[in-house]
Amino acid sequence: MHKAEVELEIPFHDVDMMEVAWHGHYVRYLELARCKLLDSIDYNYPQMKASGYAWPVIELNLRYARPLRFQQRIRVEAQVVEWENRLKVAYTIRDAVTNERLTRAHTVQVAVEIASGEMLFASPAVLLQQLGVTL
């Protein structure tokens, strides 16, 4: 399975008066990990566009177990878990010091042919090639 990880510190501008990260900022943390994952297979958004496909996120699920706090160091892991008919990425956010799991999430993206605007019901060959899946 393809996976990537980013480490970051929760900045002041992401927290509320209780010094807890606002729930909406988690999506940005996931995106940072997803982009690193896509870079690792050389199929990030510029390569997607060049291949003729857009990959909009059509589903996002977040499960908050513990809050993220101001100046906390976290690790966000992204892993490809499905690729045949859609691109599903699973995420785990952990405390970088204790390794405690803080959040689980997943996103689902689908291939849309840019020229026609039509959604594909199977992932295009280019994604499978970048993942090293035998056609």
- Separation CA 128–CA 135 (nearest Å): 7
pLDDT on residue 55: 97
Task: State the total domains in the chain.
Answer: 1
User: Rounded to whole angstroms, what are the CA distances from 21 to 3, 15, 28, 62, 99?
Assistant: 25, 4, 12, 14, 18
Q: What percent of the chain has pLDDT over 90?
A: 97
Q: What is the pTM of this model?
A: 0.94
What DSSP letter does each residue of 34-71 carry, written as one string? HHHHHHHTT-SHHHHHHTTEE--EEEEEEEESS--BTT
Tell me the pLDDT band of 134, cut-offs 50, 70 and 90. Answer: confident
User: Rounded to whole angstroms, what are the CA distances from 8 to 26, 37, 51, 101, 129?
Assistant: 12, 16, 31, 15, 31
Query: Domain of 84?
Result: 3-131
- Give yes or no for residue 69 having a pLDDT over 90: yes
- Distance from the Cα of residue 22 to its chain's centroid: 18
- Minimal CA–CA distance to 131: which of 62, 84, 68, 78? 84
Tell me the pLDDT band of 1, cut-offs 50, 70 and 90. Answer: confident
- Give yes or no for residue 52 having a pLDDT over 80: yes
- Minimal CA–CA distance to 19: which of 78, 80, 71, 92? 71
- pLDDT of 17-40, one tens digit each? 999 999 999 999 999 999 999 999
Q: What is the CATH number of the domain that holds 75?
A: 3.10.129.10
pLDDT on residue 6: 98
In the chain, how many H helices and how many E strands? 3, 7
- pLDDT of 117-129, one tens digit each? 999 999 999 999 9
Task: Calculate mean pLDDT across residues 6-16.
Answer: 97
Under 8 Å between Cβ of 37 and 107: no
